[in-house]
Amino acid sequence: MRILAWLQRKKILGRIISIVAVLVFILYLLWAHDLLRVELFEYTTRALTENWKALLLSTSLLATPLTLAAVGECINERAGLFNIGLEGIFFLSVVIGVRGAEIIGSGVAGLLVGLLTGALIGFIFSVLAVYLRANQLVLGMGINIFAMGMLAYLLAAIWAFPGIHSVRPEFHISKMLGYFTPIFFVAVIAAILAHIIIHRTLFGIRIRAAGEKPEAVDVAGVRVDRIRILACTVGAALAGLGGAFFALGWFGEIVKEMAVGMGFIALAVVVVAGLEPLLALAIAFVFGFVRALADWVATMPGINVVLPGAFYIMNMVPFLVTLLVVTIFIGRRKFPRALGKPYVRE
Amino acid sequence: MPRLFDAIREYLGTLKRSLAESLFALLIGLLIGAGLMLAFGYDPIMGYISMLKGFGIFTIEGFLAVLAIIALGLLLAAFIGAYWAKIPQALARLWRKKISGRSISLVAIVVFILFLISRMLEFLDNVELMEMLAYSVPLMLTAITFAVGMRAGIFNIGAEGQVYMGAVAAAWIGGHFALPTGLHLLAATAFAMLIGAAWALLPAILKIRAGVHEVISTIMLNWVAFFHVPYLIINRFAGVHAERTATILPTARYPILGASLTAVIFVALAACVVVYILLWRTRAGYELRLVGDNPDAARYAGINIRRAILISFIIGGMAAGLAGASQVIGRPLLGWTLPATLGTVFGLGFSGIGIAVIGRNHPIGGIFAALLFAGMLNGAKFMEYDWGISSELVVAIQGVIIIALAIPALLAMSRRGVRRLKIRRGPR
């Protein structure tokens, strides 16, 4: 009893209950998917040893948009803006990026158009959130829903063919450097730069302060609104680049269901990484790998017969890991104090 | 009777303030939609006229019927709002055969209004009107999920996953068990609500016990459900068609009123009214709203905040589960089955957010907002038939409306803008 009281006082009891609840939930899922078996590990190791080249390739492709969006989200969450509209930015920049590539006549230009699309969305988001004090969560969901409709509408309105559009091969950036696309290196550089800017520069201190204690930034004579808008625009621009990459650097076509869920996986990456860009890079790679493994499982008929639930469980892994990490590390992993709150000068 | 009028006046009073804001946002959404149509060479006016067909009001009697149903619905809601405490009492008296004029009249009026609405629907046989009503059922329910969360200060966007779970739960009970007629329907509905609430329980526990932000946990659970339910459909509950659940047995189907509208709409409306009563006429509901309005005041008043949050999650989960069930056992979609692609339930939870926002987080307001969105969704197909405008434009318009309503001072801002214009134009 004394131990129980001590646990309660230290607020550990609640966390233990929560962790147990998440673990029970994961166990339920494993049980429901009939996966509490040894074969899972056998197949995973087989995939790793025999198929590592193909897996690495698809992992690097999957990790690219995830890293870009996650690094961008790290920046704007540091500044205190919580943008859950990443999926929407993916959707919109993929269409507008491809359209830009076709009009300008170059794949790289298409990527830049995607980047600008993201930047524009981020700018609008931050202006609404900073000056008009809009609820950032509702705003983010609004962007997601708007983009979900716009993707299908634009596909039909621009190319007059519903559901799918193929990018002409000359715009497709299919050149690979080893197992990586060039854009993956852009993502890596973005992550490193973001890390340096956030942790090593004066501007980084201001960004962090704008998220942590905007009053202090204001008193120091620095404009909180401008910092937040800049951070959000840059962050969303990176996500926009990731969105354009889907069609121009990876699939070579636009499909309605292409990026479904990816924006939310990117959000999961950010949460697990605790707003550290370099950590986000690593975790995006891990989550990308799990997704790649899931896709590999889906194409192997033998595994699908023995372990029909493997594909589904592997797709869930990013989300389950996030749940677990959030539950274990909450409190220890600090989010900016003013995250999601508009700053009003008193 | 004066109490009834007071209640109606109270409704209209609260409505008036929020109605202006919602209508303004709707206007912005429609204008941007029109701009999008113009930008790609469609005619927005003709497009919107086609969309109006989806409301089923293109015939005179259809129009009158819509007005009458709205009036009757308002009357019913106000009536129940005014006399809610007396109705169970009256029922109990009737049960004990203590017949008094008052109790009979109370119960009789409620039954009569319900009867009128259902008769009118059958009599009119207006297909589009019924389609619109059928569309609105899951939307008004998922709106409850978000609205109740917001009332308790919780940003519960977990309706999407809870809808999937509710749908598959209803499909399981409805397709794989043989039960007597009334019981089967009841069991399937109740089980769907139970599973919906169970899916909402984990974010609730994490929020209450560890302080995990509900946005993160509910988003993650939505996607877990997105991959969990197709597995269940294909590997556990598949019927003749390998990628769909078994056909719902006739004993578990809600009776069809016309087109794809079934009696489940009465369950949905009742759910909205019950949630309204819970939130505004009971102590637990008062506490819940106080927690949302002012958590500090709630804490000083000795209110159990954890319990209030838990209640909000559970109400939301039950409503979302019911919404999922309404798409499986309450609507003849794909021959009473649930597909593994989740096509018939996908996006309902997200739409619910928009509807709750337009309905100003009020379950009764949500009914009207749901009807509006349902009419737009139903009308979108006419835009596509008549003019080739992708029906998904309506989803984009929804998004714009949500974005507009995320801005708190929307109406005040527009007013100020107008005033400023006037001043500038005036003599100096």
Identify the closest residue of chain A to B146 by CA–CA distance: A138
Identify the closest residue of chain B to A158 by CA–CA distance: B40
- Residues 84 through 143 of chain A touching chain B, CB cutoff 8 Å: 84, 88, 128, 132-139, 141-143
Please check whether residue A12 lies inside any domain of the structure.
Answer: no
State the residue range of the domain holding A255.
39-329
Identify the closest residue of chain A to B206 by CA–CA distance: A18
User: What is the structure's pLDDT at B428?
Assistant: 39
- B399–chain A nearest CA distance, Å: 4
- Collect all residues with Cβ–Cβ distance below 8 Å to B338 and sequence separation of at least 6: B167, B168, B171, B233, B244, B245, B327, B328, B344, B345
Please check whether residue A303 lies inside any domain of the structure.
Answer: yes
Span A87-100, average pLDDT:
91
> Which chain B positions have a beta carbon within 8 Å of A327's beta carbon?
206, 210, 212
Q: With an 8 Å Cβ cutoff, are A33 and B350 in contact? A: no
Our measurement of the distance from residue A198's CA atom to the centroid of its chain's CA atoms, rounded to an integer in Å, reads 19
Identify the closest residue of chain B to A320 by CA–CA distance: B220
User: What is the structure's pLDDT at B426?
Assistant: 45
Q: With an 8 Å Cβ cutoff, are A21 and B206 in contact? A: yes
Residue B218 binned pLDDT confidence (cut-offs 50, 70, 90): very high
Which letter, b or e, does each residue of B111-131 get, where b requires 16 or more Cβ atoms within 10 Å of its Cβ?
Answer: eebeeebeebbeebebebbbb
pLDDT > 90: what percent of chain A? Answer: 25
ipTM comes to 0.89
The runs of H, that is alpha helices, within B206-255 are 214-235
Please check whether residue A233 lies inside any domain of the structure.
Answer: yes
Q: Which of A34, A139, A315 sits opposite B403 (nearest CB)?
A: A139
Task: For B386-409, write each residue's pLDDT tens digit.
Answer: 888 888 888 899 899 989 888 877
CA-based end-to-end distance of chain B? 55
Is the per-residue pLDDT at B368 higher than 90?
A: no
Indicate which of A34, A141, A264, A326 best probes the interface with B, i.e. most B CBs within 10 Å of its own CB.
Answer: A141
Instruction: Note whether B6 and B83 are within 8 A (CB).
Output: no
Please check whether residue A298 lies inside any domain of the structure.
Answer: yes
Element (H, E) at A254: strand A253-255
Please check whether residue A143 lies inside any domain of the structure.
Answer: yes
Residue B165 binned pLDDT confidence (cut-offs 50, 70, 90): very high
Lowest mean pLDDT: which of B21-25, B304-308, B374-378?
B21-25
Please check whether residue A2 lies inside any domain of the structure.
Answer: no
Identify the closest residue of chain A to B397 by CA–CA distance: A146
Our measurement of the distance from residue A125's CA atom to the centroid of its chain's CA atoms, rounded to an integer in Å, reads 17
Domain containing A78 — which CATH number? Answer: 1.10.3470
Is the per-residue pLDDT at A168 higher than 50?
A: yes
- B417–chain A nearest CA distance, Å: 14
**Which DSSP category does A169 fall into?**
G
Tokens of A37: 């078996």
The reply to whether A306 touches chain B by the CB within 8 Å rule is: no
Distances (CA, A) of B1 to A104, B85, B107: 70, 15, 15
Is the per-residue pLDDT at B344 higher than 90?
A: no
Is the per-residue pLDDT at A243 higher than 80?
A: yes
- Residues 146 through 165 of chain A touching chain B, CB cutoff 8 Å: 146-153, 155-158, 160, 162
- Collect all residues with Cβ–Cβ distance below 8 Å to B146 and sequence separation of at least 6: B156, B157, B159, B316, B352, B353, B356, B357, B361
Span A289-313, average pLDDT:
79
Tokens of A268: 């999961």
Q: To the nearest whole number, what is the mean pLDDT of chain B?
A: 82
- Provide the domain count of chain A: 1
The reply to whether B209 touches chain A by the CB within 8 Å rule is: yes
Please check whether residue A200 lies inside any domain of the structure.
Answer: yes
Q: Which of B216, B226, B407 sits opposite A132 (nearest CB)?
A: B407
Please check whether residue A1 lies inside any domain of the structure.
Answer: no
A253 backbone dihedrals φ, ψ, rounded to 5°: -160, 160
- A220–chain B nearest CA distance, Å: 29
Q: Is A7 exposed, middle or buried (0-12, 13-18, 19+ CB in 10 A)?
A: middle
The one-letter amino acid at B100: S
> Which chain A positions have a beta carbon within 8 Å of B389's beta carbon?
153, 156-157
Span A51-56, average pLDDT:
81
**DSSP β-bridge partners for residue A164:** A255
Q: With an 8 Å Cβ cutoff, are B216 and A149 in contact? A: no
Span A250-261, average pLDDT:
79
- Residues 109 through 168 of chain B touching chain A, CB cutoff 8 Å: 155, 157
Is the per-residue pLDDT at B173 higher than 50?
A: yes
User: What is the structure's pLDDT at B427?
Assistant: 44
Identify the closest residue of chain A to B408 by CA–CA distance: A134
Q: With an 8 Å Cβ cutoff, are A142 and B403 in contact? A: yes
Residue located via tokens 């009914």: B367
Q: With an 8 Å Cβ cutoff, are B390 and A84 in contact? A: no
Is the per-residue pLDDT at A24 higher than 50?
A: yes
Query: What does the alpha-carbon distance between residue A196 and residue B411 come to, in Å, rounded to a whole number?
Result: 43
Indicate which of B214, B221, B306, B402 best probes the interface with A, i.e. most A CBs within 10 Å of its own CB.
Answer: B402
Span A324-344, average pLDDT:
76
Q: With an 8 Å Cβ cutoff, are A29 and B206 in contact? A: no
Sequence length of chain A is: 346
- Residues 309 through 328 of chain A touching chain B, CB cutoff 8 Å: 309, 312-313, 315-316, 319-320, 322-323, 326-327
Q: Which of A138, A146, A261 sits opposite B357 (nearest CB)?
A: A138
Q: Which of A84, A133, A157 sits opposite B215 (nearest CB)?
A: A84
Task: For B242-271, write each residue's pLDDT tens digit.
Answer: 788 888 888 888 888 777 888 888 889 889
The reply to whether B205 touches chain A by the CB within 8 Å rule is: yes
Nearest CA to B373 out of B344, B352, B389, B388 is that of B352
Tokens of B404: 């507009």
The maximal CA–CA distance of chain B, rounded, in angstroms, is: 81
> Which chain A positions have a beta carbon within 8 Å of B398's beta carbon?
145-146, 149
Angle at B275 between CA B273 and CA B281, to 5 degrees: 90
Instruction: Note whether A162 and A90 are within 8 A (CB).
Output: no
Span A32-51, average pLDDT:
75
Q: Is B324 exposed, middle or buried (0-12, 13-18, 19+ CB in 10 A)?
A: buried
Q: With an 8 Å Cβ cutoff, are A14 and B210 in contact? A: yes
Nearest CA to B218 out of B197, B198, B204 is that of B204
Q: With an 8 Å Cβ cutoff, are B398 and A319 in contact? A: no
Identify the closest residue of chain B to A127 by CA–CA distance: B407
Query: What does the alpha-carbon distance between residue A79 and residue A77 come to, in Å, rounded to a whole number?
Result: 5
Q: How many CB pairs under 8 A join A and B?
A: 188
Element (H, E) at B326: helix B305-328
Q: With an 8 Å Cβ cutoff, are B392 and A156 in contact? A: yes
The reply to whether B399 touches chain A by the CB within 8 Å rule is: yes
